[in-house]
Amino acid sequence: MPDRSLRNLFLHHVAQTSDSPLALEITHAEGMYLYAEGKQYIDCISGIAVSNVGHANPYVNQAVKQHVDKHLHLMVYGEIIQSSQVMLAEKLTSLLPPSLHSVYFVNSGSEAVEGAMKLAKRVTGRHRFVAQEQAYHGSTHGALSLMSEAYFSQRYVPLLPGVSFIRQEDITHIGSVITDETAAVFIEPLMGEKGYVNSSKEYLQAIRKRCDETGALLVFDEIQSGYGRTGKLFAFEHDGIIPDILVLAKGFGGGLPLGAFVASNDVLKSLTHDPVLGHITTFGGHPLSCAASLAALEFILDKGLMESIPEKEALFRKLLVHPRIKNVSGKGLLLAVDLEDTDFCRKVIDGCVKDGLLIDWFLYAEHKIRLAPPLIVENDHIKTICGTIVENIIKCEATTGTL
C-alpha cells in the first residue's frame, strides 16, 4: 500500500522551497498558538511577520465571513467600485502623510515591489535603480534584481541591468551612487533578512536629501516592518522621513494575501495612460483580503496594540541575557538574537521547536534567531519565549562543550 499520509503527500505533490522543510502538520491555530499533531507551539514568527493580530482573530474572521456572503472576485482590478477596497484605502491613507493618499492593491510583497519599480520608471523616465546591500525585496525577477547577494540570484541571470547598491549607514557612499540617472532608491528602514538592523535617522535623512537633489523617487519597503510591528503603524514614522512610494504586504493582509504600493494620486495616475493599463492585476486587492486587512487595522487601533510594544520590546531585551547572546537588534516586535555561530544557532532553534516554540533564522544572518510574535503577545508569553531560548542555549552548550 502506498503511503497516503498527509506528510508524504505534501513531500511528493507540493513543490518544496528547501531540502528540509519544517513539515509540521498544523491542524488549527488560535491567538499565539499553532497546533500540530496534538502538540501546542507558541508562534514567535507570525508566519514571517504576517499574523500580526494573532491566528483566527475573531474580529478578522467575522469581517471575512460577512464579506463572503456579499461577493468574491468581480472584475480585474480597478474597473469596478468594491467597498472593501475603497474603505481600506480611505482608512489607510487617513493614517499616512498627505502625500501618500492613493493606493494600488496587489497580491503580494514581490508584486508591490514590481509595481513600484514600474511606477518609478514611468514617472521619472529613467531606468536605473539603487538598493541596499543585503536587503530583501522578493523573489520575482525585478525584486531579485534589487538584491545584492549573488547566492540568491546567480541561477536566474540575466536580471535587470542598471542596479547599484549602497551600504547601510555609509553616508559618504550615497552621493556617488544616487545620481540624476536614478529612477528610484529602495530602502528597508528596518532591514529584514539582514537580521532586523535599524537604519539611523541621519542615514535616512541623507538618502531623502540626495533623492530630492537628483529627482530620484524614495521607496520604503515596509513589507515586514509595517502594520504596527515597531510600535508605530510604519517604521518610517519613528524618524518622520517620508518616502515618495510606500510598499506594503505581509501583516497588511490580516492573514490573507495582499500587497500594495502607495503614493500620491498624481504619481499613480501615470499608470492609467500611455499605455492604458500601464499596470494591471486580475486578483490584486481581492475584496476578501481587503476586508480582512481593514478589520486587522481597526483591531490594532481599537485595542491599542502599538502602545504596549515598547514595553514588550524592553521585556524581551531584559530577559534575553546570556554570554552566548552577543546582541539583540531590531525594534518593537521585530527582534534578532545574535548567537554569532550559525551551527550553534540552528541547534538552539531546533531545540526550541522541539520544546514547543516556533522560531527561525534569517537569509543573510543565519547566526541570528528571528523573533516576530503577533502583536497580541503578552508578558507571560514573552517570559516563556525567552526562558525557552535561554534554556536551549544552556543545553546546546552542555552538548557541544563550549562556552
Task: Say if 266 falls within a structural domain.
Answer: yes
Whole-number pLDDT of residue 151:
87
Q: What is the mean pLDDT of residues 174-191?
A: 97
d(CA 403, CA 388): 18
Between 12 and 114, the higher pLDDT residue: 114
Pair (309, 292) in one structural domain: no
- Taking alpha carbons only, the member of 250, 259, 290, 299 closest to residue 57 is 299
**pLDDT greater than 80 at residue 343:** yes
Pair (195, 220) in one structural domain: yes
Task: Say if 1 falls within a structural domain.
Answer: no
Task: Say if 210 falls within a structural domain.
Answer: yes
Q: Look up the CATH number of the domain holding residue 392.
A: 3.90.1150.10
Task: Say if 314 falls within a structural domain.
Answer: yes
Q: Which three cell numbers stand for residue 302?
A: 481599537
Burial classification of residue 290, based on how many CB atoms lie within 10 Å of its CB (0-12 exposed, 13-18 middle, 19 or more buried): buried
Task: Say if 396 falls within a structural domain.
Answer: yes
Instruction: Tell me the per-residue pLDDT of 264-293, one tens digit each, with 9 for 90 and over.
Output: 999 999 999 999 888 999 999 999 999 999
Task: Say if 256 falls within a structural domain.
Answer: yes
**pLDDT greater than 60 at residue 395:** yes
Task: Say if 395 falls within a structural domain.
Answer: yes
Pair (205, 161) in one structural domain: yes
Q: Which three cell numbers stand for residue 129?
A: 535603480
Pair (268, 308) in one structural domain: no
**pLDDT greater than 80 at residue 331:** yes
What are the residues facing 369 on neighbouring strands?
A: 337
Domains: count for the chain = 2
Pair (163, 124) in one structural domain: yes
Residue 326 banded pLDDT, cuts 50, 70, 90: very high
Whole-number pLDDT of residue 400:
74
Task: Say if 121 falls within a structural domain.
Answer: yes
Residue 78 banded pLDDT, cuts 50, 70, 90: confident
Q: Mind spelling out the 3-state secondary structure of the chain? A: CCCCCHHHHHHHHCCCCCCCCCCCCEEEEEECEEEECCEEEEECCHHHHCCCCCECCHHHHHHHHHHHCCCCCCCCCCCCCCHHHHHHHHHHHHCCCCCCCEEEEECCHHHHHHHHHHHHHHHHCCCEEEEECCCCCCCCHHHHHCCCCHHHHHHHCCCCCCEEEECCCCHHHHHHHCCCCEEEEEECCEECCCCCEECCHHHHHHHHHHHHHHCCEEEEECCCCCCCCCCCCCHHHHCCCCCCEEEECHHHHCCCCCEEEEECHHHHHHHHCCCCCCCCCCCCCCHHHHHHHHHHHHHHHHCCHHHHHHHHHHHHHHHCCCCCCCEEEEECCEEEEECCCHHHHHHHHHHHHHCCEECECCCCCCCEEEECCCCCCCHHHHHHHHHHHHHHHHHHHHHHCCC
Pair (43, 77) in one structural domain: no
**pLDDT greater than 90 at residue 236:** yes
Cell numbers 467600485 correspond to 81
CB atoms within 10 A of CB 159: 15
CB atoms within 10 A of CB 13: 7
Last residue of a domain, one of 268, 302, 336: 302
Q: What is the mean pLDDT of residues 222-227?
A: 97
Full residue range of the structural domain in which residue 154 is found: 60-302
Q: Among 5-9, 82-86, 186-190, whose mean pLDDT is lowest? A: 5-9
Pair (95, 33) in one structural domain: no
> Which one of 19-28, 152-161, 194-203 scores highest in mean pLDDT?
194-203
Stated pTM of the model: 0.95
Q: Look up the CATH number of the domain holding residue 137.
A: 3.40.640.10
Last residue of a domain, one of 284, 302, 320: 302
Between 2 and 146, the higher pLDDT residue: 146
Residue 226 banded pLDDT, cuts 50, 70, 90: very high
Q: Helices 58-68 and 287-302: crossing angle, nearest 10°?
A: 150
Pair (332, 294) in one structural domain: no
How large a percentage of the chain has pLDDT more than 90? 87
Pair (66, 151) in one structural domain: yes
Pair (353, 385) in one structural domain: yes
Whole-number pLDDT of residue 77:
86
Pair (36, 142) in one structural domain: no
User: In whole numbers, what is the pLDDT of the chain averaged over residues?
Assistant: 94
Pair (238, 341) in one structural domain: no
Whole-number pLDDT of residue 401:
61
Last residue of a domain, one of 259, 280, 302: 302
